[in-house]
Amino acid sequence: MVIYGVALLSFCMLLGIILGEFLGRLFGIDANIGGIGIAMLLLIFLSERLKKSFTLGDITEKGITFWSMIYIPIVVAMASKQNVLGAIDGGLIALLSGGIAVLLSFLLIPVLSKIKK
């Protein structure tokens, strides 16, 4: 049943966000710490577990993979609702601080990738 996949995905997301909220409160801040990351770990863990005990049917799987495939259109919609005007209107301070931070971060990616290996 396709709903099993969608429900499993939803369950992981909600549980992850709830745990992320708790983590935030634990540190005394009003922000979600890693809720989506926790949800992703839950999904990886649960789907591997479920696969061992009984097969996650093809159609059940489609309830998850559909959402993974609809990801790019969602990102395009997300781009279309950004406050681009607000970014440009922020003036030189916003452009410089954001711009330099992004540039330096890009430059650091190859450096940090090497350290690991």
48 binds other proteins (CB under 8 A): yes
43 is a site residue for other proteins (CB under 8 A): yes
Under rule CB under 8 A, which residues in 10-29 are in contact with other proteins?
Answer: 10, 12-13, 16-17, 20, 23-24, 27, 29
| 59 interacts with other proteins by CB under 8 A | no
Q: Is 35 in the site for other proteins (CB under 8 A)?
A: yes
Question: Which tokens sit at 79?
Answer: 């781009």
Asked if 91 touches other proteins (CB under 8 A), the answer is yes
Q: What is the smallest separation between the CB atom of 59 and other proteins, expressed in angstroms? A: 14
Contact between 54 and other proteins by CB under 8 A: the answer reads no
